[in-house]
Amino acid sequence: MNIRVGHLYPDYLNIYADRGNIAVLARRAEWRGHRLEVEAVGMSEPLRPGAHDLLYVGGGQDREQLLVAGDMAEKAERLREAVAGGAAVLAVCGGYQLLGRGYRGFHGEDMPGAGILPLETVAGERRMIGDVLLACELEPGEKRTLAGFENHAGRTRLDAGAEPLGRVVAGFGNDGESGYEGCRAGRVVGTYLHGPLLPRNAWLADWLLTQALAHRTCSAEVPRFEPLPDELEAEAHAVSAQRARDRGGRF
């Protein structure tokens, strides 16, 4: 089956090996007999609700975010339609910030967001950098860990009642204070973890693919994958997780 991916602003939001995340999705889909069809959705290009099973937004510095923010705000209604129709979304770092209501940069630049996630971000004076480890539970009873690298000045505040992606075991997370990282709303996931994210966390790649397949088949039931021989992926995760633990827990 073809899984259709819309990659938003790949020419601007692609500074943290974001294309590596797409490569992981493509290979893991291929190993299970599916094919990833990736369409770039750039500036001033239309976003067609229902055309994609998964939308991906990568990371960028403030300059690149400022360039695309207005265009993303113009796409906001179509983005909301796509999400309401069941499309999955992964947004990383700068893309995560712009999926909220807005981001205020270090010099006071106001960048409108798409309003897909219930959060706002304001840049702080000190960057939060280093390995990070999260405890997550995207499916009831399935406790997992996410390991990655964070490098952001933004302090992201979730609305009351919003669901974080995970609890910080080691690292800073959304704001260095709350003890939480990222945000999850249904099939939409936003996070500061990059490095890239999916090669170190194969289970999250599979989760996104199953959510995308559920959209592709218009099914209320999400398919389950048989495990792959992920020895190398598990080792990459373990090394990253240990680096974060060695850094020391903050919460």
Residues catalogued as catalytic: 93, 194
| 25 HSE (CA, 13 A, CB side) | 32
Kindly state the tokens that stand for 88: 């999955």
| Cβ-contact 90, 56 below 8 angstroms | yes
Q: What is the 3-state secondary structure (H, E, C) of 127-188?
A: EEEEEEEEEEEEECCEEEEEEEEEEEEEEEEECCCCCCCEEEEECCCCCCCCCEECEEECCE
Looking up tokens 């939409």 gives 188
Give, in order, the Cα–Cα distances in Å from 242 to each of 130, 238, 248. 12, 6, 10
Please give the backbone phi and psi of residue 246, each rounded to the nearest 5 degrees, phi first. Answer: -65, -30
Q: What is the DSSP letter of 62?
A: H
Residue that the structure tokens 């709303």 belong to: 185
Kindly report the CA angle at 150 between 146 and 151, in degrees rounded to 5?
170
User: What tokens does 67 get?
Assistant: 């360039």
